[in-house]
Amino acid sequence: MAATITAAISTLPKLYKSTLTPKPISLLSQKCPLSSSFSIPFKVQLPKSNVQHLNAHTKTTFPRISATISVGDKLPNSTLSYFDPSDELKTLSVSELTSGKKVVLFAVPGAFTPTCSQKHLPGFVEKSKELKDKGIDVIACVSVNDAFVMKSWKENLGIGDEVLLLSDGNLEFTKAIGCELDLSDKPVGLGVRSRRYAMLVEDGVVKVLNLEEGGAFNVSSAEDILKAL
């Protein structure tokens, strides 16, 4: 026991000396491992992250309903295009379409899209006779697609002359009435399109306007227009 105490005491000068004059220690050296009796202050400040955390419950939202056009307004005299029954490309002004006539004008976000192809356009084709029996002269569908796409869509659905399909490929009419819908954030490449709506126009003046939010289909059907007549 005495020998152990003597040996421990004999090491104190060495420990005291090493404390006063510490030798450089390489953190990468395996021969000199760190112990609890030695510490190196080390502080790392990470830059603030701009990453936004995703919320699993986030829902897609659309802007609230807004439009430049409203009931009582006269439609702007924009130019639309279409293919006539002889496959000739024609242009038609809104004034030519509506002057002295009772017109149902409805718009879809895109040709060949599901709701437009399965419900909206077919609904007006199906109810075209009822609408014309109630005094409607022309039923026309507007979409932000080129005239060739509108022609192919008409052929694909087997539509005759019940509904006139009009192209607003450059958004001239859609922007003029304030009904553009920006879908650029969607992964299918729709870009800027038209809001879905249906309106009753008499001699160029809007009498009924049923405007949808986003791509919804709640108030712009043929049945909704029939109820308003």
- Indicate which residues carry an active-site annotation: 116
Residue 160 and residue 123: Cα distance in Å, rounded? 14
Residue 106's CB: how many other CB atoms inside 10 A?
25
Beta strand pairing call for 164-167 and 89-93 = unpaired
**Residues 6+ away with beta carbon under 8 Å from 192:** 144, 171, 180, 181, 182, 183, 184
Cβ proximity of 197 and 209 under 8 Å = yes
**Residues 6+ away with beta carbon under 8 Å from 97:** 80, 103, 105, 138, 140, 166
